[in-house]
Structure 1
Amino acid sequence: MDTVVVVYTSMGGLINTMKKELSAALPDCRIVNIADDSLIREVVEHGRVTDRVRERMMHYFQAAARWDPKVIISACSSVGEVAEAADKILSVPVIRIDRAMIKKALQHGDRIGVVASLATTMEPTASYIRRLAADMGRNVQVIGRVAQGAYEANSQGRPELHDDLIRKEAEVMAGEVDVLILAQGSMAGMEASLKKDTGLPVYASPCLCVKEVQEICEVNR
């Protein structure tokens, strides 16, 4: 039986979303979840990925590799660069949850809008967009907005406030960009409504990541 391991830095609804999507796409695959919500708390507290977070993430990736999975998913964009580093040293592919989403967004133009609920996600995401664009020989403009208070609202069980804050920022930048991406996987439920509200292509990471994983598993079968 094939195995896919997902490493999370929080205990939010994204875990259930990914389990549902992966199970539907890969019904014969074993899904292993590793979650440590102290990671994102430390990133938020310090405003960056600390050495301790980096070390713990690498430990989890190394532990995940012992399952001999087809692929390891890093489900947090704030620590995406740690996943890229792990991918270079492990024998198992380690992918960022946002990779497929960003590649898809880059098909729609050179003005990429990013809506985030955590400030710590913005720079890693913007940097990754620019690097993937550069790999395609392109120079893109990244316009980002952080929905202040949205992450806290979601953590406190106030999804309506979370969605309202995200929608407000998306609508503000709608006239400035060609496409919108949702930096947190937990925003996936807003993808359809934001497309309608802004008239733009809008992408969230979970479904596109799962499609990428499905392709990796099929190629390596």
Structure 2
Amino acid sequence: MRSRPKLLAAVAETCAPSGRAVAIQCPRGRAIGRANKISNDMLSFASTHLAGTELPARIALVHATELAVEPINQAFAELYPEAQLSNILDDSLLSDLGANGGEVAPELLDRLASLVRYGETAGADAVLLTCSSFGPAAAEFGELVDVPFFRADDALIDAALQRGTRVGVVATVPSAVATAEQALESAAAEAGLRVEISSVLCADSFAALKAGDQDRADRLVAEAAAALARDCDVVILAQYSMTGAIAKLPPALSERVLSSPHQGVIRLKSLFEGAN
């Protein structure tokens, strides 16, 4: 069994780049601190557990739709190929969420929670939820497991606010628009920032994706992102399935368009390398 405390210190350092509040959980959910920046008590706790910790690299990816599987696995292949991945999928969760009017019913939340728990039981050193639409409902899932848990857009939102406060949002389903806007507003408020959000819903892109036309789906998203980028500091793609659109953009523009898979992998790699 790998030792955890050093990893928890890296969680603190990795998750608070913009001064956001961070809760660090010890095994069995005992909080060691919450602050807008890492407290001396947290650092003291971490410094006593730094020696001899093995580098963790087994990550459970929890999916509510099969559309998220390829983008996140590709991002790991590009940015963190050393990681050992396990994909845990209930491909009816997102469709059931839509059938329920976008409301996360207790039964849906229980099903998702069981996948997160299974990820830890199967030996994961961290669990990443890849579905943005369940992000708000999964806010307390970190208390379910004794390993770091990350929601789909946690890293994306932090990275966006580091780039600027005029943020464009592109999504292909309405629930993802609302989720991204809520996450940006909440994170900005915690960091003492005032954010201006411009959102575009690309419903035609989602229809193309469901029909198997990935190229058209990516092109439509890329066009929307390019239009938003004219007046925004940064543009975020609110769903994992939209990541391919970045390749449709000119290099200079693609640097201002962020995706959840890439930002999530960057954070996890930083987390684990920081614990080494």
Which bracket does the TM-score occupy, shorter chain normalised? 0.7 to 0.9
Deviation at 1:154, TM superposition (A): 0.6
| SS of residue matched to 2:59 | strand
Between Structure 1 and Structure 2, the one with more helix by share is 1
Q: Find 2:93's aligned residue among 17, 39, 51.
A: 39
Cα distance between partner residues in 2 of 1:65 and 1:151:
32
TM-score (norm 1): 0.88
Q: Which residue of the partner structure matches residue 119 of structure 1? A: 174
User: 1:137-216 to 2 correspondence within 5 Å?
Assistant: 137-194=192-249, 201-216=256-271
Unaligned runs of 5+ in 1: none
Q: Find 2:153's aligned residue among 98, 123, 126.
A: 98
Conserved 8 A contact 2:72-2:240: no
Conserved 8 A contact 1:178-1:200: no
User: 1:26-65 to 2 correspondence within 5 Å?
Assistant: 26-51=80-105, 52-65=107-120
Question: Using a 3 Å threshold, how does the CA distance of structure 1 residues 128 and 63 change in structure 2: closer, same or farther?
Answer: same
Cα distance between partner residues in 1 of 2:81 and 2:219:
35
| SS of residue matched to 2:128 | strand
Give a deviation string over 1:128-150, Cα, whole Å, max 9, x none: 11122222211212221110121
Unaligned runs of 5+ in 2: 1-55
Deviation at 1:176, TM superposition (A): 3.4
Deviation at 1:169, TM superposition (A): 2.8
Question: Greater CA deviation, 45-54 or 145-154?
Answer: 45-54
Question: Using a 3 Å threshold, how does the CA distance of structure 1 residues 105 and 54 change in structure 2: closer, same or farther?
Answer: same
Cα distance between partner residues in 2 of 1:101 and 1:112:
12
Deviation at 1:25, TM superposition (A): 4.6
Deviation at 1:220, TM superposition (A): 4.1
Conserved 8 A contact 1:150-1:162: yes
Give a deviation string over 1:116-166, Cα, whole Å, max 9, x none: 011111111111111222222112122211101211211211123313432
Q: Pairwise CA RMSD of aligned residues?
A: 2.4
Cα distance between partner residues in 1 of 2:193 and 2:251:
28
Cα distance between partner residues in 2 of 1:28 and 1:209:
15
Conserved 8 A contact 1:191-1:202: yes
Q: Check if 1:80 corresponds to 2:135.
A: yes
Cα distance between partner residues in 1 of 2:246 and 2:183:
21
Give a deviation string over 1:9-56, Cα, whole Å, max 9, x none: 1112x3133224325554454211101110111122233142122111
Conserved 8 A contact 2:219-2:245: no
Aligned residues: 220
Q: Find 2:75's aligned residue among 21, 25, 45.
A: 21
Q: Which residue of the partner structure matches residue 9 of structure 1? A: 64
Deviation at 1:92, TM superposition (A): 1.5
Question: Using a 3 Å threshold, how does the CA distance of structure 1 residues 21 and 162 change in structure 2: closer, same or farther?
Answer: closer
